[in-house]
């Protein structure tokens, strides 16, 4: 169960005491506040706090740019203009604080996004729970033969079962040893102090779950989501990004719609690629050899065009 009984009781208590406020409130986000959204087998995300909404972005932009935005007739149009022209500062006026429970190896990918504030559960002071990420059989895949950091064909039958058994048994064995090292009773029954928690944790595998509070502004959150909600991202971090996307879509629907259109659904073309498009529109047949692009660039260009 991703959320413990104590955590659920805390969530229920927090949601049962709404407070009046004069600050900007997003009804969509209020529905998510404190609730846990399950991810993977034991993980979750939940919103602890947030600041701002779509109107906060517009307010900041109009203060910053003044007459430059007078021609924009509505908030949605202004937000789309800002997103289209890469004006990032107004989006930084909105912030979100998330409580995330995730496997350690996912956390190590996640922490690469350094433009956030993070406070992680400390295994120096506390004892980690016996919870490990064990993939579904459909997530067990061989190494890709074309992508050094990707997956290939899904493992089948006996091979999949063998890998799952290794993951389960190694996880349990390492935790047994973790508990044994922490124990204040020696193997012969005599008293001993037990190994320090900061040392005993060394033996734990990367699929054990950790937790943290993660606070980030909307601009940098969009950067995170553009990379991690992408189809090429590792599945185990992508499902967290997808869960966050659903929350953000309810929090700032105009901003998320613009992000989805211009960033997730859009594409950036090089000068050479734009020149090729112009030549194609003029009726010229353009090939990789005449494009001025490398084979890799041309392959990606064809992918954008849908060829």
Mean pLDDT of the chain, nearest integer: 91
- Provide the pLDDT for residue 270: 96
- Domain parsing of the chain, residue ranges: 5-132+209-264, 134-206, 271-305
- Provide the pLDDT for residue 189: 62
Q: Quick one: CA dihedral 97, 100, 104, 109, positive or negative?
A: negative
Domain 5-132+209-264 classification at class level: alpha beta
Banded model confidence at residue 306, pLDDT cuts 50, 70, 90:
confident
Asked about 162 being catalytic, the answer comes back as no
- Provide the pLDDT for residue 278: 96
C-beta of residue 81 within 8 angstroms of C-beta of residue 72: yes
Banded model confidence at residue 6, pLDDT cuts 50, 70, 90:
confident
Annotate the chain with DSSP letters as a single string: --S-HHHHHHHHHHHT-----SS---HHHHHHBT-EEEETTTEEEEEEEEE--HHHHHHHHHHHHGGGGTT--SHHHHHHHHHHTT--GGGGG-EEEEEEEEEHHHHHHHTT--SSEEEEPPTTTSPPPS-B----GGG-EEEPSS-TTSEEEEP-HHHHHHHHHHHHHHHHHHHHHHHHHH-SB-TTS-B-----HHHHGGGS-TTBEEEEEEEEEHHHHHHHHHHHSSTTS-HHHHHHHHHHHHHHHHHSHHHHHHHIIIIIS-----HHHHHHHHHHHTT----HHHHT--HHHHHHHHHHHT-
pLDDT tens figures, 207-237 = 999 999 999 999 999 999 999 999 989 999 9
Which residues share a beta bridge with 214? 98, 118
Banded model confidence at residue 186, pLDDT cuts 50, 70, 90:
low
pLDDT tens figures, 45-60 = 999 999 999 999 999 9
Q: Give Cα 48 to chain centroid, integer Å.
A: 16
Which residues share a beta bridge with 213? 99, 119
C-beta of residue 236 within 8 angstroms of C-beta of residue 133: yes
Identified catalytic residue from 228, 238, 278, 299 = 228
């Amino acid at each position: 169960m991703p959320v413990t009984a104590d955590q659920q009781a805390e969530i229920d208590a927090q949601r049962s005491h709404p407070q009046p406020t004069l600050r900007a409130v997003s009804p969509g986000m209020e529905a998510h506040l404190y609730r846990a959204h399950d991810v993977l087998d034991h993980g979750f995300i939940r919103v602890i706090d947030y600041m701002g909404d779509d109107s906060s972005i517009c307010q900041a932009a109009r203060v910053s740019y003044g007459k430059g935005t007078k021609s924009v007739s509505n908030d949605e149009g202004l937000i789309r203009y800002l997103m289209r022209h890469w004006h990032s500062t107004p989006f930084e006026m909105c912030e979100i604080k998330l409580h995330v429970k995730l496997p350690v190896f996912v956390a190590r990918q996640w922490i690469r996004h350094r433009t956030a504030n993070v406070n992680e559960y400390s295994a120096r002071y506390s004892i980690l729970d016996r919870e490990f990420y064990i993939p579904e059989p459909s997530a067990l895949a061989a190494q890709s033969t074309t992508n050094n950091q990707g997956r290939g064909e899904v493992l089948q039958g006996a091979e999949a079962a063998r890998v799952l058994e290794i993951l389960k048994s190694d996880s349990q064995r390492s935790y047994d040893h973790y508990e044994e090292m922490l124990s204040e009773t020696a193997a012969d029954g005599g008293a001993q102090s037990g190994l320090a928690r900061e040392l005993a944790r060394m033996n734990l595998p990367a699929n054990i779950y950790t937790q943290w509070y993660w606070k980030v502004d909307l601009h940098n959150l969009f950067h995170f989501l553009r990379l991690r909600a992408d189809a090429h991202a590792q599945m185990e971090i992508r499902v967290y990004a997808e869960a966050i996307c659903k929350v953000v879509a309810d929090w700032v629907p105009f901003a998320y719609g613009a992000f989805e259109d211009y960033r997730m659904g859009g594409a950036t073309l090089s000068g050479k690629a734009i020149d090729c498009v112009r030549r194609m529109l003029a009726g010229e047949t353009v090939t990789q050899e005449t494009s001025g692009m490398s084979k890799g660039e041309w392959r990606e260009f064809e992918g954008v065009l849908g060829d």
